[in-house]
Amino acid sequence: MANQRLNQQSTILSGIQPSGNLHIGNYLGAVKQWVDLQAYYHVFIMIADLHAITVPQEPKELRVRTLALANLLLACGIDPEHSTLFLQSHVPAHAELGWIFNTMTPLGELERMTQFKEKSDAKGAYAGLLNYPTLQAADILLYQPNAVPVGDDQLQHLELTRELARRFNNRFGETFVVPKPLIMQSAGRIMGLDDPTKKMSKSAESQSSYIAILDTPDEIRKKIKNAVTDSGKEIEYNPSAKPAIANLIAIMSAFSGSSEQEVAEKHNGKGYAEFKSDLAELIVKKLAPIQETYRKLAENPDATLKILKQGAKNARETANETLNSAKEKMGFVL
């Protein structure tokens, strides 16, 4: 079924690390697009567990988080009948093509990546963190996707991916599709509730900076109530003058499907408190079915594991085909 659709449709691939609480920034900026795109494309969704270990992970936690993330993605609407959900570590071709790309990437290109600079600390960094983007390029190019739906923090990695595809194609002959980034205009960068100048992040120090998909209704209400606002009291969408309110409007817009302007007009004349209360209730309502499905899925881990194993089997077929074609062109004896 999956492979049949592949031949007829364009392909989309994206990935997500099993590294913490999935939050509404991840959901609105990335996961919701994946779910919506399933109607038109064959979608590969990869849980990037090999990427997660570029910073130290507790083995027990890595396992629990990986399976929990798989359940969350399924609960958000990733449909294994139509899409391929798999773990990166179940498809060895990723590490192999990642190695090949390491041999084609000047160090300077990796050292200037923002994520590398942000995540390496005073003591330095491991080689895996530096080589993170070449593995990501392999993740993507193995599946020949036309587009990669991500939040806008991933643009730099996608630019390198496109460059590697072009570099390989120029040197060894047409092999990889050069994929386009697909970034939601308003939800591509949801900002922190406590600081609208920083993106909402699961690695933020304060939990009040993000709303996790599994937060309880009371936690959601409290976090929205405490979210920082701008001076004045008008609900208007003006990201440069009123970044905090613009961020809350963007969240309401993405959850409701109305434009930012429609959201602002609807709340024209209402104060911040009433707007925040409407927003909190909307989020509670939209997350409730996801949370309920998640709880049911979590009761049956074997079923999730089965989905992941089947996903890996489908993914390996496509990935190995691309890898072998690349290796053959490079002169490897197959």
Which residues have a catalytic role annotated?
119, 199, 202
Per CB under 6 A, residues contacting ligand ATP are: 16-17, 20, 25-26, 29-30, 150-151, 153-154, 188-190, 199-203
**Residues touching ligand LTN, count (CB under 6 A):** 14
Binding site partner of 148, from ligand ATP, ligand LTN, none, Cβ cut-off 5-8 A by kind: ligand LTN
- In angstroms, the CA 132 to CA 112 distance is 12
Residues 6+ apart with CB under 8 A from 141: 97, 161, 164, 165, 176, 177, 179, 322
Binding site partner of 136, from ligand ATP, ligand LTN, none, Cβ cut-off 5-8 A by kind: ligand LTN
Residue nearest ligand LTN by beta-carbon distance: 15
150 near ligand LTN, judged by CB under 6 A: yes
DSSP 241: T
Under a CB-based contact definition with an 8 Å cutoff, are residues 144 and 176 in contact? yes
Binding site partner of 190, from ligand ATP, ligand LTN, none, Cβ cut-off 5-8 A by kind: ligand ATP
- In angstroms, the CA 237 to CA 265 distance is 9
Which of residues 13 and 150 has its CB atom nearest to ligand ATP in the complex?
150
Which of residues 83 and 246 has its CB atom nearest to ligand LTN in the complex?
83
Q: Smallest distance from the beta carbon of 253 to ligand ATP, in angstroms?
A: 13
Beta sheet of 147-149, edge-to-edge order: 84-87, 42-47, 11-16, 147-149, 180-182
What is the maximum span of the chain, computed from C-alpha positions, in angstroms?
71
Per the DSSP assignment, residues forming a β-bridge with 84 are: 44
Can you give 130-175 as a three-state secondary structure string?
HCHHHHHHHHHHCCCCCEEECCHHHHHHHHHHHHHHHHHHHHHCCC
Choice from 71, 105, 154, 322 touching ligand LTN (CB under 6 A): 154
Which of residues 13 and 200 has its CB atom nearest to ligand LTN in the complex?
13
Binding site partner of 140, from ligand ATP, ligand LTN, none, Cβ cut-off 5-8 A by kind: ligand LTN
- In angstroms, the CA 21 to CA 210 distance is 9
Q: How far apart are the first and last CA of the chain?
A: 29
78 near ligand LTN, judged by CB under 6 A: no
Q: Smallest distance from the beta carbon of 130 to ligand LTN, in angstroms?
A: 14
Contact residues: ligand LTN, CB under 6 A: 13-17, 48, 51, 136, 139-140, 148, 150, 154, 157
